[in-house]
């Protein structure tokens, strides 16, 4: 994992993961009432992206990450 990105309100997290075969994926999670992170999409990663910057640009523009969905 390269880094974790957090929504402004702290209720959503996206882990940016770069793999040896040069593709980058995101693991999205929601904060629940029991103080744990629950992966979205049944734990399946979103991607692939060409690089970590592309993944970051994608996720910060989504309605989910911005709390609009």
pLDDT in tens, 12-64: 999 999 999 889 999 999 999 888 999 999 999 999 999 999 999 999 999 99
What band does 66 get if pLDDT is binned at 50, 70 and 90?
very high
Angstrom distance (rounded) from CA 9 to CA 13: 10
Closest to 45 measured CA to CA, from 33, 58, 61, 63: 58
Q: What is the pLDDT of residue 25?
A: 98
**What pLDDT sits at residue 34?**
87
* pLDDT of res. 32: 94
């Amino acid at each position: 994992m390269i880094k974790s990105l957090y929504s402004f309100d702290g209720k959503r997290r996206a882990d940016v993961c770069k793999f040896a075969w040069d593709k980058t994926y995101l693991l999205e999670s929601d904060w629940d009432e029991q103080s744990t992170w629950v992966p979205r999409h049944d734990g399946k990663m979103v991607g692939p992206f060409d690089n970590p910057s592309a993944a970051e640009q994608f996720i910060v523009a989504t309605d989910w990450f911005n709390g609009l969905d």
